[in-house]
Amino acid sequence: LAGLAALPATMTIAQQTAAPEEVSLIVKADPPGPVINRNIYGHFAEHLGRCIYEGIWVGEDSPIPNTRGIRNDVVAALKKLNLPVLRWPGGCFADEYHWKNGIGPRSQRPSMINTHWGGVVENNHFGTHEFMDLCEMLGAEPYVCGNVGSGSPEEMMEWVEYLTSDADSPLANLRRKNGRDKPWALHYFGVGNESWGCGGNMRPEFYADNYRRYNTFVKNYPGNRIYRIACGANSEDYNWTEVLMNLAGRQINGLSLHYYTVPSGNWRNKGSATRFTEEEWHATLRRTLRMEEIIAKHSAIMDKTDPQKRIGLVVDEWGIWHDVEPGTNPGFLYQQNTLRDALAAALNFHIFHQHADRVVMANIAQTINVLQAMVLTDKGKMILTPTYHVFEMYKVHQGATRLPLELTTPDYVRGDQRIPLVSASASRDAGGRVHLSLVNTDPGRTAAVSCELRGFAPARVTGRILTAGAMNAHNTFEAPATVQPQPFTGAALDAGRLKVALPA
C-alpha cells in the first residue's frame, strides 16, 4: 500500500488536544470499480487576465526564460502534474474568438478587444500554433472550444480542417505555410461554451438545434476522430440536460457541466480567498460537496436516454471562485489559494472518482493566475499553490481502477450545518499498488481511521500529507513553501489493518 495522501487543516495547535474521532473504513480490492479517466485531472486556460499572457506566453524576446515564447518554469511545473488535457481558448472568450486572427506572422495579426475580461486589447500573439506547441511541450491532449455564439459553421469547419487535415487543400496548405507540415491530432472539440449565458444566451431547444447544425461541419479527417463535446448545464439546470439529451443526444459524445464553489453562495460578494472564518471554511466545503448531488442528478437524467453511459459528463469548469485580490483588475479574476482550496480540490476529486462511470473529464478553472490556479506568477517569479500540490499528490489516481469503499465517519458540524468529518477515495494502479486519499475537513479535530483492507494483503504503507498551521495558510512570492507536501508518518499496518492518525 503506497501513496496514502492526507489533507487535513489545523486552525490552532491548541485545538488538537481533544480525543481523536473514530472513523472506520473498508477498502475493497475485489470487486474493482471503473477506471478513473486520467482526463479528470484536466485543465483549462483561457485568454483571461494573466493566464495566457504572462502566465504562459511571454514572447520569444522576453528576458523570462522561454521556449518559442512559452515560459520554461511554468511548463516544468505543469509537467510534474502529468497534465492530461488542456481546454482552450475559453470560456466566454471562445465565443468571441476568431481563430484566423491568431495564425501567421505575429506582427501582422489583428488585435481585438477582450470584452468579457477587463476590456483589454488582445493581440492574438498566442493562437492555434502556440497552443498546440504548448500541448506538445506538456504532453497534454488539446481540447479546443469552438465559437458558436459569434462565429459561423464555416469558421468552425475551417478551423478543424486547418488543424487536422493532411490533404492538399487550401487550409491545410495555409497551415503548412505557417510552419506546421503535418496535421495535429485533435480529439476533444467543444461546440460552444456556456451557450445559455456568455456564449449566446440561448434556450436549450435553440442551442440543441445549433449544436446539431455546427457539429455537422466538425469533420473527421483521415486519421483523426473527434470527440464532440456539447455545451452542458450551469450547475442545477437539469432542464438543460434533459432537453439536450432528448434533442441532440445522438450527435453528442460528451456533455459539459459547469459548477463553481462560491464560498458565500452570493456571486456579488463571494468572499476573500485568504481572510475567512471557520463558518466560511465550513460553508465552502459544504458548497463544494454539492458537486456530488449535481453530478448524480445530471447523470440520472442522462441515464434515461443513455443507460449504457455512452455519453460522458465533462465537468470542464470547476473550482472555487473568490473575490479578486484587493487592488487587482476585477476582470482578471486573480485570487490567492489556501489550504481551504486544497481541501476543496481533493473533495471534488473524490466525487469525480465516485462517478468515474459517467465523468470522463474535468478541467479546473484555471491553470495559471486565474481563479483556483495551480501556479501564480509575478513577472519572472513563479509559485505553486496548495491546489497544485493536490493535483501532484493525486496524480497516482490517473487511469487507476477505483476501489469501492465503506466509510463510517462522524460529521463536522457548524451551527445547523454538517458535512462528513472524513472523506476518502481509493484506487489500484497498473502496478498493483493501492492509493488511498483521505481528507479531514475539520480544522479542530483529529481522526483515528481504522481501515480494513479487504481482498489484498499490503506489504507496507507510505504516505504524504499536506497541511499547515492555519486554515488560510498559503504560499506567497516571499514565502513560497508554507504549504507543501511532507512525509506522513501517521499511517501504520497493524494485524492486517491500516491505522491512520489523521491530524486536524
* Residues involved in catalysis: 194, 317
487 backbone dihedrals φ, ψ, rounded to 5°: -60, 145
Under the criterion CB under 6 A, does residue 369 sit at the interface with ligand AHR? Answer: no
Least separation in angstroms between residue 17's CB and ligand AHR is 42
Contact between 91 and ligand AHR per CB under 6 A: yes
Q: Which parts of 92-121 interact with ligand AHR (CB under 6 A)?
A: 92
What DSSP assignment string belongs to 74-102? HHHHHHTTT--EEEES-SGGGGG--GGGG
Q: Which three cell numbers stand for residue 108?
A: 501582422
Q: Considering the rule CB under 6 A, would residue 193 count as an interface residue with ligand AHR?
A: yes
What is the identity of the amino acid at 80? K
The answer to whether residue 323 forms part of the interface with ligand AHR (CB under 6 A) is no
Q: How far is the CB of 62 from ligand AHR (least distance, A)?
A: 26
Q: Is 211 helix (H, G, I), strand (E, B) or coil?
A: helix
Q: Report if residue 194 touches ligand AHR, rule: CB under 6 A.
A: yes
Identify which of residues 114 and 164 has a Cβ nearer to ligand AHR in the complex: 114
Q: How far is the CB of 337 from ligand AHR (least distance, A)?
A: 15
The three grid cell numbers given for residue 109, joined into one nine-digit string? 495579426
CA proximity to 123, closest of 71, 47, 43: 47
For ligand AHR, give the closer residue by CB, 8 or 190.
190
Nearer to ligand AHR, 114 or 165 (CB): 114
Binder among 21, 96, 317, 442 for ligand AHR (CB under 6 A): 317
Q: CB neighbours (10 Å) of residue 472?
A: 18
Q: Shortest gap between Cβ of 317 and ligand AHR (angstroms)?
A: 5
Is residue 427 within 8 Å of residue 27, measured between CB atoms? no
One character per residue 25-64, x = contact with ligand AHR (rule: CB under 6 A): ---------------------x------------------
Closer Cβ to ligand AHR, 190 or 485, answer by number? 190
Q: Which residues contact 330 (CB under 8 A, 6 or more apart)?
A: 118, 324
Question: How far apart (Å, rounded) are the C-alpha atoms in residues 183 and 176?
Answer: 9
The three cell numbers locating residue 78: 505543469
Which lies closer to ligand AHR via its Cβ, residue 360 or residue 373?
373
Task: Confirm or reject binding of residue 144 to ligand AHR (CB under 6 A).
Answer: no
Give the range of 89-97, 133-141, 285-293, 303-311 binding ligand AHR by CB under 6 A. 89-97
* Residue pair 458/493 in contact by the 8 Å Cβ criterion: yes
Q: Nearest to ligand AHR by Cβ — which residue?
A: 91
Q: Which DSSP string corresponds to 203-224?
A: -HHHHHHHHHHHHHT----TT-
In whole angstroms, the minimum distance from the beta carbon of 365 to ligand AHR comes to: 4
Determine the interface stretch with ligand AHR among 62-70, 76-84, 365-373, 447-455 (rule: CB under 6 A).
365-373
Min separation Cβ 91 and ligand AHR, Å: 3
| CA 274 distance to own-chain centroid | 21
DSSP 139: T
Q: Which ranges in 11-95 belong to alpha helices (H)?
A: 72-79
Return residues touching ligand AHR (CB under 6 A).
Answer: 46, 90-92, 193-194, 317, 365-366, 371
